[in-house]
Structures are given as C-alpha cells and as structure tokens.
Structure 1
Amino acid sequence: MDFSLILFVLVLLTGVVWALDRWFLAGARERRANAVLRSGGTEEAVRRASKEPVFVEYARAFFPVILIVFLLRSFIVEPFRIPSGSMLPSLHIGDFILVNKFAYGVRLPVVNKKIVDLGAPKRGDVLVFRFPGDESINYIKRVIGLPGDRIVYQGKKLYVNGELMEQTPAGAFGSQQGGAGSPEAALLIENLSGVSHEILVAGRPDHTPSEYVVPAGHYFVMGDNRDQSNDSRFWGYVPDENLVGKAFLIWFSWDASGPSRWFFDQIVFERIGATIR
C-alpha cells in the first residue's frame, strides 16, 4: 500500500470539497438562510439552513493537517520502522528512524521524479530506497559502492577499487542483543573510506560472486549484518531513481522480543535520539 498515494488522494479530496464549499456551497447556504429569515422563519430554521454538511466540516478541519503531513513527509523527513536484523548492530529490530528526504535531491511525491538535484549518496551513508525487485517495498542498507567503483567481497573482507577496507575486532555480539535472534557473530569496526561503523560477521563460508563493477547511475549496498542481509550481492544495484533518502536519527526504539512485558519495559530509552552513522 503506497502511503504517499493515499495521502495525496486525501489531500486532493478534502481540498476539492473545501474549495467547492468556499466558492459555491457556502454562498448557496447563506442565500437560503437569508430567504428563510425574510420569510419569518425561526432562529432554529435559519440555523439549519445555514449549517454546513458534516462532510464539508470534516474536510475543512482535516485538509490543512493532511496537507502539512503530506508536504513534510514528501519533501522534508519521513519515518520508517526497522523490520529485520540486516543492519545490526547499527540498527535494531523495532528502531523507528527518520529519513532526510532532500539529501539526494527534491523528488515529486507518488511519481518519485527528481526535480532538483541537491547531492548524491556518499560511501558509508545509510540509505533508504525502493527495492528494485518490488518498488512497493522499502529497503535500508549501507552504501558501499558508488558509480564506477569495483567492489570485491572475499573471505569476509571488503575491497573498494583494490583498497582493503580495514576491519578491527571489537568483541562478540550475542543473539540477545537487539532482539534480532541473530547467531553468535564477531563484532568488527570497519573503516569504509574514512567512515567507521560496526559490522557483524559470522563464521559461515561465502557462496556468492565476489566481484562487482557499479554501473553509472547506480549504487552497491550491503547490510551491516553481513551474513544475514539480502543486498546487492544477491540482486544487483540500486538505481538513482529508487532513492528515498538518508537515514539520520533513531527517534524511538521498541524491543518486542521475548514474552509480553509492561509497555514501558519494552521501550529502549538509550537508543532514542541516537544518530545513525
């Protein structure tokens, strides 16, 4: 379900109803009320004649609210919820994030056509995009390769244009963390061309092709949970027209793992307000 399209339709419907009432229906009601008044009608009869229909009242009340939400969500910032553990340890299941919608240009809502170019993704950005295999689904991954880059992933090591991206051991990451149900994995800090971020690497062998050349106008993306991520290694590259925005903030976090608990026990307060790196 395309929420942007739903909002657009609601803005259109409520706006049309409000405009028609303002320009035509309100005047007709006023003339009708004046006619009732001149004919000696009671105050109640005049009030009923001038009363706006319920659907007009709701349209007038909701139109500005829906319009503001639509504009903010389409051009400024959009909220998303993290549904899987593919970006562990950076993002946990149940994290609610904010995405900068104009970081990579201003795009028309619904049709997703770029009208103003304000920049391009940088290596290391955490990117939200429409999945090329099904554009009704939004994915979130980290940008690894830019147009023209040669990417090699071999033996759990990442090479960009022949340069090894240094990995530093940082301990272990257990399945109890982040509510992801992930297997025991090594926690590493990877230096991605100057952008340091944490990744998870399990002991399983690689079974995917290891070398990729990013075509023009496309990006190569990977999840930080390297062995639990469905990313460019399996389905290819992200075209520029599929970009949604850059993730930058965790505004809420909810840990629903394990047995049902009291509401406030499931809020992960220490993650609220954390920046996404």
Structure 2
Amino acid sequence: MKWKFWQKETDGNKKKKTKTREWVDAIVFAVVAATIIRVFFIEAYTIPSGSMERSLLIGDFLFVSKVNYGARIPMTPVAFPFAHHTMPITGTKAYWDGVQWQYRRLPGLSEIKRNDIVVFNLPVGDTVALENQETSYYTLLRQSDWKAVNSQYTITSRPVDKRENIIKRCIGISGDVVSMKNGVVSINGKQELLKNTGQMPYKIETKTTDINFDVFKDLGFRIGEMQQVNANTYVANGTEEMAQKLRKLDFIKSAELFVKPPSVNDGDLFPLDTNRKWNVDNFGPVKIPAKGWTVKIDSNTMPLYYRAIRTYEGNKVEQRNNVWYINDKVATSYTFKMNYYWMMGDNRHNSIDSRYWGFLPEDHVVGKALFIWMSWDSTASLLNKIRWGRLLRGIH
C-alpha cells in the first residue's frame, strides 16, 4: 500500500509536455532517424548531367544503397543534417572540419563488380574554386597559373566525404588492366563492347538530302543534338543497335562509329604525361592499383600513380636528382594500402571520368545505385514532365 501511494504521488508530480515540447521532440527524433538511415542504409540522389545517358537521364531520382558495399563511417562527423558540403541559403560550409575521423567502412553485402553503377565523391574535388565549380580546380591551373587562379577565385579544400557526389559505371576493378582502342574498352585484354544502355557518336551518311527526320527520332536519336557536317553527313549519339537499324534504311549510305584516331592527342587526360599521346577513344593500357599490390617506381609508372601514392594514401612524395623519395626515404617500389577502380560514363563523349582524373580510391565510394523512384523531365510540357515509364525502375 505504501508503494502504491508513493507511486501515485510521483506520477502526479510529473509535468505534462507542452505542445511545443512534443513538436521539438518529434522533430529531433525524425532528424536523428533520417540521418541514421541516410548515413548507414539508403540515400536519395538526383542525376544532374547527361554523362550516363542512355542508362540514366537528367532528372532521374535514385535511391543509393549504403549497405551493398558497406556503409562508410562519417569522416567529417560534425555537419548540418541533410546538407552535403554547402548550406542552401547562406552558401557557407555545412560541416566543421576541425574533427576528422580515419576512413572506416562497415561490412557490406558484396564488393564492387564490373559494370556496377556507383555513386562516389569526386577524387579531384579536394580543392574547389567556389565561383567556378563546373571546372576542376586543376584544369583551371593548367589553363592559367596558380597565382592567377587563386587571385581570381575563392579557393577551398574539402574532406573526402564532403567532395562532390557523382555517378559513373565501374569499368575496371582493382588489379584489372584497362585500355581503350578506337572507342572500344578492353579489360585484361578482352574487348568489352558498349551495351545498349550507353551511347557513342556515329557518323551517318545519307544518299539524299531529302530526309524525314522523324525516322531518326523513332529510332531514339535526339534530333536537336544531331550535328550536320555537310549536306549528306551527320553526327549523332546512339547505340550500336540503333545504328544497325539505321543501316537497313534505303536512304542511308553508312552509319559508323565516329571516334578519334590514335594519333590525336587530347592533352588534358590522365595522367597528363607528355610521353603518353592519349585521347578519349584511345588510351592505356593502365593497371588499376589493388590493396597489397607493389608497383615499381620509375619515370614510366610515377605519372600514373603519383597522385594515388601522395594524395589518396597520404604520403610525402618528391623527386631529388632523378631519385624518388617517399616520406624522405629513397623509394624504388610502393605497396598500395587501398583498392582502386576505373569509372566511365555510359555517354562516352559527354563524360568527365577516369579518363580525365584517374583512379577512384575505395574511401571515396558512397554506395550502389539501386532504382529510380521518380523521373522528371524539366524540358517537357506540364502534363508530360513525369516520365511514368521510368518510375520504380531498376538500374543495371
């Protein structure tokens, strides 16, 4: 009886929560729960560019799984909820880099496989010119010089997990040897033809100038993006399947891949080595570093692996009198601490990918693209903005 009296008296002394307090508690709980889900399980992502067409379109809204490859423990834990690297209104940093944790990842369901579509932090996004984020800081330096770029723009550095998120297809995994010849990728010496989900430019020659362009549209070509070379020649992005159908038409003379010859040097491609005359359709071979793999250090390999050894794996690297030093010790070889990957866009001639910035380190991997939950065409009429056929569509 005494215990019941005491319990009744205590219950009566409890203060009832106000409506404001109830709302605050609910909001805090929702933010914490949503943050945990976003960090460790699944996150929404929007396709911002056409680099993955025809697989993914601008305006596709995806869900990205953190579970498949294992959730990455936040490396910059003090951050504003739901903001990535910049506050939406003020434009200031959405994180505090005064606390930095080492890279760790929870166990995942699988490793990254070839042809997986992966969301990751842009490796060359470590340094950014805030007023011109469309162009890589390192590209700006090559176009001008350090003094001019740093006086013209506000330059900031970003931790690994706060670098820009982008999405590409994994072409090669750690240990693979990747190359490309006349627009066709080879992995470990075996050609990997572009699937119908990707596209390349085709040079189309017609027998007449009197053309019904609706035929091209019906086959999937975008009329507005077709470039006319002369009266009977056009260049258009498409798939090999589309080109095969085109060749069967009586007014088509030819439809062949339109790629750069090996003799053309693009100049601004990885690894920015003057001895390698590579372009977007012809490069390599390049061996992708794997954890535990040891590379011989010399003038041939260092242009390829310098940034990985120095920037991604955190070593002091310098050359003195033609001798390489790592952490102030003479180095003739180096053993990698992480796995790396080679990423490329399905829209091969409209993608800034590993051909430009090199290897993707494993600590930059965010997650695997699962499915499209919404697709919005901002260029269409109001009644046709939702692409109904793409809703809840899996990604392959």
TM-score, normalised by the number of residues in structure 1: 0.69
SS of the aligned residue for 1:66 comes to: helix
Q: Is the 8 A contact 2:174 2:341 kept in 1?
A: yes
The CA distance in 1 between the partners of 2:195 and 2:393, in whole Å, is 23
- Cα distance, 1:167–1:127 mapped onto 2, change above 3 Å: closer
1:182 to partner: Cα distance: 7.8
1:59 to 16, 21, 24: 24
Contact map agreement 1:127 1:142 (CA 8 A) in 2: yes
Q: Specify which of 260, 268, 271 is matched with residue 205 of structure 1.
A: 260
Quote the offset at 1:167 in angstroms.
4.8
1:155 and 2:182 are equivalent in the alignment: yes
Which residue matches 2:389?
Answer: 270
Q: Given residue 179 of structure 2, which amino acid in structure 1 is its aligned partner?
A: V
The gaps in structure 1 that reach 5 residues or longer are: 1-26, 34-49, 190-200
Return the offset for 1:74: 1.2
CA drift at 1:117: 4.6
How far does residue 234 in structure 1 lie from its aligned partner after superposition? 0.6
Cα distance change of structure 1 residues 224 and 167 upon mapping to structure 2, 3 Å threshold: closer
Gaps spanning 5+ residues in structure 2: where?
1-9, 77-102, 126-159, 200-215, 228-235, 242-255, 270-277, 291-338
Q: 1:202 to 1:98 in 2, by over 3 A?
A: farther
Instruction: Give 1:186 shift.
Output: 2.8
- Cα distance, 1:53 vs. partner? 8.7
- C-alpha distance 51-270 of structure 1, shift in aligned 2 (>3 A): closer
Residue aligning to 2:341: 219
1:164 corresponds to which residue? 191
The reply on whether 1:131 has 2:131 as its aligned counterpart is: no
Residue-by-residue CA offset, 1:90-110 (whole Å, 9 max, x unaligned): 000000011111111132235
> Are 1:77 and 2:42 counterparts?
yes
Hey, what does 2:141 align to over in structure 1? none
- Contact 2:179/2:186, CA 8 A, preserved across alignment: yes
Equivalent residue for 1:186?
A: 238
Gap change, CA 1:255 and 1:229, over 3 Å in 2: same
Secondary structure in 2 matching 1:147: coil
| Equivalent pairs, count | 215
Structure 2 distance, partners of 1:108, 1:62, is 24
C-alpha separation in 2, matches of 1:77 and 1:187: 32
Contact 1:173-1:185 at 8 Å conserved across structures = no
Residue 150 of structure 2: aligned partner: none
Q: Note if 1:242 corresponds to 2:294.
A: no
In the superposition, relative to structure 1, how do residues 71 and 175 fare at CA in structure 2: closer, same or farther (>3 Å)?
same
- Tell me the C-alpha RMSD between the 2 structures: 2.9
State the identity as a percent. 32
Q: Which residue pairs with 2:332 in the alignment?
A: none
Does residue 105 of the first structure (1) align with residue 70 of the second (2)? yes
Letter in 2 for 1:276: I
The 1:188–1:77 alpha-carbon spacing in structure 2 relative to 1, beyond 3 Å, is farther
Distance 2:49 2:226 in 1: 10
Q: Which amino acid aligns with 1:215?
A: P
Which moves more between the two structures, 223-232 or 126-135?
A: 126-135
CA contact 2:68–2:108 (8 Å) conserved in 1: no
> Does the Cα contact within 8 Å between 2:182 and 2:259 map onto a contact in 1?
no
| Alpha-carbon separation, structure 2, partners of 1:129 and 1:244 | 5
CA distance in 1 between counterparts of 2:71 and 2:384 reads 39
For residues 140 and 182 of structure 1, do their structure 2 counterparts lie closer, same or farther at Cα, with a shift above 3 Å needed?
Answer: farther
Q: Distance in 2 between matches of 1:226 and 1:128?
A: 17
- State the Cα distance separating 1:232 from its structure 2 match: 0.3
Structure 1 residue runs of 4 or more that deviate by more than 2 Å after TM superposition: 50-54, 56-59, 109-113, 115-119, 166-177, 201-204, 206-209
Residue 173 of structure 1 contacts residue 187 of structure 1 at CA under 8 Å; is this kept in 2?
Answer: no
Alignment-derived partner of residue 105 in structure 2: 114
1:141 corresponds to: 168
Pairing 1:2-41 to 2, within 5 Å after superposition: none
One-letter amino acid of the structure 2 residue matched with residue 137 of structure 1: E
The structure-2 alpha-carbon separation of the partners of 1:153 and 1:68, relative to structure 1 and needing over 3 Å to count, comes to: same
Write 1 or 2 for the structure with the bigger share of helix.
Answer: 1
Q: Is the 8 A contact 1:89 1:224 kept in 2?
A: yes
User: CA contact under 8 A between 1:97 and 1:250: conserved in structure 2?
Assistant: yes
